[in-house]
Amino acid sequence: MSEKKKIVQDPVTKDQLKAALIKLGVKKGQIIEVHTKLSSFNWIVGGAQTVVDALLELEEEGGTILMPVQSSGNSEPSDWCNPPVAPESYGEIRKAMPPFDPKCSDISGVGAVPENFRHREDVVISNHPSCAYAAWGRYARLLCNRQSLHFALAEESPTARLYELKGYVLLIGADFDSATCMHLAEYRTDSRPIKIMGGCVSDGTSSVWKKYLDLDIDSSVFPKIGSIMARKSMIHETMLGGSKIQFFSAAAAIDEATSYFEKTSVYELYR
């Protein structure tokens, strides 16, 4: 007996996606941090290209699109666990690691949309070895030009600028544990331990392995904070192509996360 083939239903077109985003409140002139998970949809016609095209068309007059383009492979090998590497290989890996390159370095865990987005014309990319951002539009350079090597998602980061500029977060099929901007709350509440990180960067003439400080961040609690926000009617939601799309204020999400960590963090007990 032959296998029954799955029939694609409810395909999403660019016009349908744009209409759904407009319905949620997306409009020209906004600054939007975007996270996507294409596998959540039955099918988007054109895939990542369609999503990026839709976003750029909606924000082409004065808006700004921001996406994380994290390169987690350019990191301290002693921290690797999927899979781990033998300690005797740490030095060799650090020496052989290529420096971060905004256009060529592998980005992992963020999906096809950021990969498509970072190669678009006029996209600006910050220069952090593992936690870089890509931005396009009116405030792209302001968001990305001064990201700190140390504490990469803290006050000297695109995340903090997004907060100050009253930007938004758009989750296209992704859940709250993808909302990178909410990590700012962890820094503002000292709710995570500090650790020594590492990555390879270019000093202009050669590759240099740099050690830097950061928090041991954890996004696993963000969906719980998202549920709190939903109960307070802080999120605009719609369904499209079998998947959920969510749109909300970045500052509201960060403030809500800050409040949550201030009430629940064990580190608060020692302030």
* H or E stretch covering 271: none
Name the residue type at position 78: S
Q: What is the pLDDT of residues 154-172, one digit of tens each?
A: 999 999 999 999 999 999 9
Angle between helix axes 250-264 and 222-231 (nearest 10 degrees) is 110
Q: Which of 177, 174, 271 is nearest to 226 (CA)?
A: 177
Distance CA(167)–CA(251), nearest Å, equals 7
Query: Are the CB atoms for 248 and 34 separated by under 8 Å?
Result: no
Rounded distance, CA 11 to CA 126, Å? 34
Cα dihedral 52→54→57→62 (10° resolution):
-70
Task: Read off the pLDDT of each residue in 82-91 and give the average, rounded to a whole number.
Answer: 91
Per residue in 29-84, pLDDT tens? 999 999 999 999 999 999 999 999 999 999 999 999 999 999 888 999 999 888 89
| DSSP structure class, residue 124 | E
Residue 266's pLDDT is 64
pLDDT score, position 208: 92
Least confident of 1-10, 129-138, 176-185: 1-10
Question: What is the pLDDT, as a whole number, of residue 2?
Answer: 52
**Half-sphere CA count of 121, side-chain side, radius 13 A:** 2
- Per the prediction, the chain carries an average pLDDT of 93
The answer to whether the beta carbons of residues 216 and 191 sit under 8 Å apart is: no
- Cα separation of 125 and 140, whole Å? 9
Instruction: Note the pLDDT of residue 203.
Output: 81
pTM of the full structure: 0.92
